[in-house]
A and B are shown apart, each in its own frame.
Chain A
Amino acid sequence: MDLRFTAEEEAFRRDVRAFIRDNLDPVTHHKMLDGRTPSKAEIVAWQRTLNARGWATPSWPKEAGGPGFSVVERYIFLDELHQAPAPEPISFNVSMIGPVLAAFGTAAQKERFLAATANIDIWWAQGFSEPGAGSDLAALRTSARRDGDHYVVSGHKIWQGMAHHADWMFTLVRTDQQAPKKQMGISFLLIDLRLPGVTIRPIVTIDGRHEVNEVFLDEVRVPVDCLVGEENKGWDVTKFLLSNERTGIARIGMTKHLVRRVKRLAGADEAVLRKVAALEAELKILEITQLRILDAQRGSNAADPRSSVLKLKGVELRQAASELLLEAAGPAALEIASDEDPLGEDDAEWLGSIMPNYGILRAASIYGGSSEVQKTIVAKTLLGLS
C-alpha cells in the first residue's frame, strides 16, 4: 500500500494549479473566493479558457473530445478547481449531457451537439424533476405525443438550475402512458428552449438568488431527431447519467476552501478553532476514503455503490463547514448583502455570502439523491438489508 500519488500525477497537479493561477480572470476568482456566484459571461469565459486547453470536459472519453484523463487525473483536476476556487465545468453540460450523448447519441447528434456543449455555445438545463416527481423521479408526468416528425410535449418541470441561462434542456418525458411499469414509458428528449410553448419562471431560493426555475411546456413541438436512445428506453439513459461522474462527489476541495475561510475569520476564537480541527480530522480521513474508492476504479468504469458513502460524508462535512463559517463570522454575517455589491480589497474577507451559502447548502443533501435516499441505497446494496 502507498498513499502517494505518482510523480506524473504530482506534476499534473502542479500544471493544473499553474494554469488556473495564470488564466483565471481575477474578478471571477475574487467572486469565487468571496462565495459569490459569477455571472454567466464569466462562467462561459472560464469554460472556454479550459476548452482551449483541452480541459473543459474532464470526464469525457477521448473520442468525444475529452482529454482522456485517468480517474485519478480527473480527481486531481476537479480538486484543484475546487480549492482554487474556480468555477467547475458546468455540470449540466459536462457531467450530464455530454457523456450521455457520447454513449447514446446518434452520429448526427454527436456532430451537432458535442463540441458546442464543450464550448458552452449551448448551455444545457436539466429537465428531470417535476412537482410530483422528486425522489420518485419515475413518477414524472410530462407527456410527449408523437405527431408526424415531432413530439408534442406538455408538462411542468421544476428546479431547473440556470435554465434562464440555458439554450437547451435535456428532458424526461412520458411517451407510453400504458407501460406496465412507470420506468418503462419514459423517453429522453432534447428540447430547444426557444421553441414556442416554453415558459421559464424564476424561483428565488433561501439565499435570495435566482438560480433555479420552473419550466412550463405547453404543446411544444420537438423534432423526433431530438430523441436520445430509443423511445421508451429513457430510463436506461437516466440511470447512466445519474451514476456517471461520481469522482468529485465528496467535494473535498470545496470544503477545504471553506475551512481556510473559517480559519482566517476565527482568529483566536478557541471554540471555533477546536470545531474546525474536528472537521479537518474527518475531512482528511474522508480524503483517504475517496482515494481508496478512486484506486478501486482505476481501469474500471463500473459505478461504485460506495460513492453514496462519499456523498453522505462529503455533504455532511461541507454543510458543517458552512455552518462553522457562519459562527466564525458572527452576527455581522446577518447583514443582507448582494452578489452584485462591489468587490472589496484583495484579501479582505467578504461576509455577504456566508449566511446565504449556509442556507442554500442545505439543498446539497436534497438534490443529487437526498441523504435519505442515499442511506437506503447503502442499506440495500452495501449491507444487503431490504
Chain B
Amino acid sequence: MWKSVAWDAINEGKAMKVTRRDLLVWGAGAAAGLLATPVPWKVLDDVSIWSQNWPWIPQPTRGPVEVKQSFCTLCPKACGLRVRMANGWAVGVAGSSTHPISRGALCPLAFAAHQLNWHPQRLRNVRHGSSLSTWAEAQSAFAKASKEGPVVVIDGYSGRAASSVLETFAGKQGGSYRVVATPELRAFTPYEQWTGIPAASLGYDFENARTIVSFGAPLLDGWGTPGRLTRLWAESGAGLSDPQLRLIQIDSSLSRTAARAWQWIEIREGSESALASGLAGALLEQNLVPAHSPVPSMTLAESSAQAGLSVERIRELARLVVAKTPALVVARDDDPAIAALNVLLGSLGNRGGIVPHSEGVKPYVAAESAIGNARAVLIDASVPWEFVPQVEAEIFRFAAWDGGATKADWLLPAPGFLEDLTDLPTAPGCSAQTYGVAPALVKATIEVQSAAQFLCSLDASLPTTAKIIDSRCEDLFRRREGNLYGQQIAAIDKVSSVQSFKEQLWKGAVWAGEASLSKAFACHLKEWPAQTRPVSAETWATQWKPVVMPPLASKLYQESGLREPPRRNA
C-alpha cells in the first residue's frame, strides 16, 4: 500500500509543486526523527565539554609529576605545604606534616591556592587610573615622585627579605617604612611599649601553658598558624571535663572557638576591657596574684555591670584562671587592659607565657599612624586590599589580585601564589623562631614584579631578595642552634655545611629555634592601663579590622570575626 501511496505522491508531485505545507510536514517529520537520534543529546554533551576546554582555560600540560615541599605565602602564618607539580605547574596543594608549627594543617584558602593564579580577578596589566599602562611608565612615574619628595613604603608581611629591601629603600630615600600588622602581632604592642622588646619578637608558649584565657581571639578558628592550636587542643584538651590544658573563651557570641573551648564565658560585646579590669580586681582582692600589682580604677561592680557577669562569677573566673598554671591571657587585639593581665599573672618571659623568640628584630611603625607629608606611597602586595593610606599622595599599589574599587593611582601586577622567591620569617604568635624559604615553584604567565624587584630595578645599590636570603641562611647556620625539619628532623650541628643547609632550606625544610624561656623580661606596671576599648556595645559593627590577607582571601575560618549584635543591652 505504501508503495502505491508513494507512487501516487510522486506522480502527483509531477503535476503539483512542492508546497509550503509539504516542507513544514517534512520538517516536522525530520524534527521528530532527530529527537530519536543521538544528535541533540550528543551535540549538547560535546558542546558542554568543548566549553570546558576553551583555549584560554589553563590546562596543565602532561609531564613528570613531582611533589615539592614549600610554604604557603598567602599570609604571614607561613604554613608548610606540599605542592603537587605536573610539568612545572602546581596542580594540587596539601599541608606538610613535617612543619613543626603548622603540623600538616592549612586554612581553606590554601587548599585551592594553586588555582588562585588563574583567578579572573588576577591583575594582569599595569594600570594607571582607569587606563592601561606599562612597567616603564610606572617606573619613570615612581622615579620622578621619589625625586620630588618622601616616599612611604607600606608592608603587610614584615620580616621578609623583601621587607628588608623595602625598608632599606625607604631609609635611603628619606621616606618611611610602615607595617600593616596582623591582629596577632598587634596584640603584642602593649608589651613592646612596657618592656621595649619589639612586638614581632614575642610569642605565646601555648605548648607549656595549662590555662589559656582568650578574650575574643578566635584561637581554634584560624587564629595564628591554624594547625598549631587546633592540634594542641585536639591532643590535650578537646572533649575532656578536666583537660590537661584548659581553654577559657571569653566571647560575646558562641563562636566556633567558644563552642569548642573548655569553658565559654559569655559577656556583652565590647566589654572585654572592662572584664579584664574586673578580673584583675578579683585576682588582687582574693590574693591570687602578688599584692604589689597595680590596681585597676574600675571597681568589680562596674566591671560586672558592663560585662553582664555577676561579681561572684568574675571572682570565680579569677580563681579558675589561677587554678592550673601557667596561665596565659590572649587578646584579640592590642587592648592594654587585657595585656596587663599577663603582667599580673607573671606570664611574661616565663614557661607557658609570653616569650621572646628572636633577637635583632626592630619595632615596627604601624601603617595606620599619621603618615604626614608624603609625595608617594608604595604599597606592597602583602597589604590587605582594604587598607587605604590616609594621605594625599600618589599611590603605587602592588597586588596579584584586583580587589575592586581602589584609591590607588597605579596598580602594578605582583607575583601570585608561589611565583616569586620569598623567605618566611617567624609567624606571629609563635614561641620559637622559625625560618623557611619558598622558591618560585611556578613560572608567572604574565609580566609581574614584586615591590622589592621594582625598587631593585630602580636602584641597583639595593640588595636583592635572593642575596638577603642567602646571607640570612649563612647567619642562621653560623648560630649552630635549633633543628632543621626536612624529611627528617636534624639538629643543625648535624648539617655538614652551609651549602647543604641552604640546599635543604630551598627544598622546603624549615629551621626552628628553641623558645627562649630563659630570657625572662621584666615588666612592672606602675598603674593599671587606662581603658582604651569602648565599652558601649554600639561600636561592635564599626570596630572590625580586616586581618592581613590578599584581596581574594575571604577565609571562612575567620568567621568568628563576624560578630553577632549584642543580645543583651546594658
Genuine A/B complex: no
